[in-house]
């Protein structure tokens, strides 16, 4: 055991761990969820990058000697390389401002750097506040690291989005010749192809990818150098200029200084924008998943227009029942993202005066949204979308039997005539085509062409057919 002392008093610390007294106090004070900052590796890595760049900057301006800089940088590299597992036990629910997060990182780096320099843990040569946190404040470190982490999380999400975009593009092409009935208000509408329906899903995902890329650029504007409230007090002269040279080199991110430090510390609206984009993405994903549940419903008493891959039995009591498990999983993830967005909204709204101190709950919810969406989209793509099959016969039968084919009659003979044909077809359980021929509106050949649901999926082709005939 080793003994550490702070403002509250002394404490014995297990010799096996690299964190120190402030981390232990945080663990004792905030034993809430069991969800620790260890679960957010992009955040830990981003904070480590900042600590390394800060050490390099402080050494460059003459306030930190070369030897201390070198061991701090080496300790940081070990964190980045994943060599410091189980050293970040602070619960994500904690006091405002995230001081416990910053000090957990500072203490791990300080103890390891001291060990590298002297052969033992402790702060006799490298101190977490004096050296590792030099020229910094939690108030500028944590929000800067959060933005950088968001950049990395978007990178992960884009990998999943590119997979689903590719899958939907393939399905759009595969289903291009599958004629079916469209539905509005859950009622029969005019014919479309299953490919056209999937093209809407595909276009939505492509648009989300572009929006995410635009947002990602905004994550590169950070507040490091602002220190406590935006004045830069406590930072060594020249430090701020240097850290914007070293941090891009260390992190491989083209980070830049925000236009106004005071704005950057007071306002957290960037997280509302990111969360809103995640919520928008979720709304479309949930809609796609819901559509797949409807389209695959049955198999004998539903739409049954598509078959989803069977991944597990769907009932503990009904043999042979297969549920749309993966779409249902997707929808529940999306519901969770909506809840996370609401919590983020409250946290951003409650920033007061010169600092928004609610970063812990913001980062918890926004990083969780990123993680569950990234994982879920990949599973949704691989276990559901890629294996969807079209029931072409069912799709075509529904299209041919639809009363909405009367729209062709309406364009030639007027709405009232078409309405009468549709009503009679419904009452007699006949097709629109059968009634139209029976009433003498079309001969068999004209009816077969003009009331062919496949032709109705192409407005240009249908316009040409109508204009090229004299009826």
Tell me what pLDDT residue 319 has.
Answer: 82
Q: Break the chain into its structural domains and give their ranges.
A: 2-134, 140-219+266-393, 402-467
Q: Which of the listed CATH numbers 1.10.10.10, 1.10.275.10, 1.10.3720.10, 3.10.20.90 matches domain 2-134?
A: 1.10.275.10
**Pairing state between β 306-307 and 389-390:** antiparallel
Query: For 72-137, where are the E strands, in sequence order?
Result: none
pLDDT one digit per residue (tens) for the chain, 471 residues: 888 888 888 888 999 999 999 999 999 999 999 999 999 999 999 999 999 999 999 999 999 999 999 999 999 999 999 999 999 999 999 998 999 999 999 999 999 999 999 999 999 999 999 999 999 999 999 999 999 999 999 999 999 999 999 999 999 999 999 999 999 999 999 999 999 999 999 999 999 999 999 999 999 999 999 999 999 999 999 999 999 999 999 999 999 999 999 999 999 999 999 999 999 999 999 999 999 999 999 988 999 999 999 999 877 788 888 899 999 999 999 999 999 999 999 999 999 999 999 999 999 999 999 999 999 999 999 999 999 999 999 999 999 999 988 888 888 899 999 899 989 999 999 999 999 899 898 899 888 888 898 988 988 888 888 787 654
CB burial readout 399-410, b (16+ within 10 A) else e: bbbbbbbbbbbe
Distance from C-alpha of 58 to C-alpha of 468, rounded to nearest angstrom: 80
**Pairing state between β 2-5 and 10-13:** antiparallel
Tell me what pLDDT residue 471 has.
Answer: 47
The pTM assigned to this predicted structure is 0.93
Q: Which of 54, 125, 40 is nearest to 364 (CA)?
A: 40
Architecture category of domain 402-467 in CATH? Orthogonal Bundle (1.10)
The answer to whether domain 140-219+266-393 has CATH 1.10.287.130 is no
Tell me what pLDDT residue 469 has.
Answer: 66
Q: Which of 224, 54, 188, 79 is nearest to 134 (CA)?
A: 54
DSSP state of 24: H
**Half-sphere exposure in the Cβ direction for 174 (13 Å, CA):** 17
Give, rounded to a whole angstrom, the gap between the first and last alpha carbons of the chain.
98
- Kindly list the catalytic residues: 315
Residue 187, Cβ density class (10 Å: 0-12 exposed, 13-18 middle, ≥19 buried): exposed
Task: Output the CA torsion 61→64→67→69 (10° steps).
Answer: -80
Distance from C-alpha of 186 to C-alpha of 206, rounded to nearest angstrom: 26
Token pair of 406, please? 């009367």
Distance from C-alpha of 305 to C-alpha of 283, rounded to nearest angstrom: 23
């Amino acid at each position: 055991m080793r003994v550490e002392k702070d403002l509250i008093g002394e404490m014995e610390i297990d010799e096996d761990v690299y964190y120190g007294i402030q981390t232990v106090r945080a663990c004792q004070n905030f034993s809430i969820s069991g969800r620790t900052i260890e679960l957010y590796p992009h955040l830990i890595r981003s904070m480590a990058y900042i600590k390394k760049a800060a050490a390099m900057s402080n050494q460059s301006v003459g306030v930190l000697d070369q030897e201390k800089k070198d061991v701090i940088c080496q300790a940081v590299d070990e964190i980045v390389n994943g060599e410091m597992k189980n050293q970040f036990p602070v619960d994500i629910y904690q006091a405002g401002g995230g001081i416990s997060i910053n000090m957990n990182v500072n203490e791990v780096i300080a103890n390891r750097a001291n060990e590298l320099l002297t052969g033992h843990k402790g702060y006799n040569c490298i101190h977490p506040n004096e050296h590792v946190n030099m020229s910094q404040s939690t108030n500028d470190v944590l929000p800067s690291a959060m933005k950088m982490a968001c950049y990395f999380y978007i990178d992960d999400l884009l990998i999943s989005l590119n997979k689903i975009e590719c899958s939907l593009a393939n399905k759009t092409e595969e289903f291009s010749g599958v004629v079916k009935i469209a539905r509005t208000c859950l009622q029969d509408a005019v014919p479309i192809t299953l490919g056209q329906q999937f093209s809407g899903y595909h276009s939505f995902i492509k648009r989300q990818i572009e929006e995410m890329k635009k947002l990602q650029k905004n994550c590169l504007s950070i507040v490091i150098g602002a220190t406590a409230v935006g004045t830069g007090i406590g930072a060594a002269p020249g430090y701020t200029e240097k850290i914007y040279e070293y941090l891009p080199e260390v992190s491989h991110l083209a980070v830049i200084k925000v236009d106004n430090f005071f704005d950057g510390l007071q306002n957290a609206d960037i997280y509302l924008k990111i969360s809103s984009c995640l919520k928008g993405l979720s709304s479309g994903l949930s809609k796609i998943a819901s559509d797949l549940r409807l389209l695959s419903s049955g198999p004998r008493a539903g739409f049954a227009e598509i078959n989803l891959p069977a991944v597990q039995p769907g009932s503990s009591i009904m043999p042979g029942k297969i549920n749309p498990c993966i779409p249902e999983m997707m929808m529940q993830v999306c519901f969770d993202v909506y809840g996370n967005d609401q919590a983020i909204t409250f946290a951003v709204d409650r920033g007061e005066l010169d600092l928004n101190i609610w970063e812990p709950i913001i980062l918890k919810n926004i990083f969780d949204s990123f993680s569950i969406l990234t994982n879920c989209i990949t599973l949704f793509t691989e276990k559901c979308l890629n294996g969807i099959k079209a029931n072409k016969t069912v799709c075509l039968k529904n299209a041919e039997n639809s009363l909405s084919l009367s729209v062709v009659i309406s364009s030639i003979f007027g709405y009232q005539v078409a309405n009468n044909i549709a009503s009679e077809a419904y009452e007699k359980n006949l097709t629109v085509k059968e009634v139209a021929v029976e009433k003498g509106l079309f001969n068999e050949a004209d009816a077969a062409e003009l009331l062919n649901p496949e032709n109705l999926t192409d407005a240009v082709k249908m316009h040409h057919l109508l204009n090229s005939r004299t009826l």
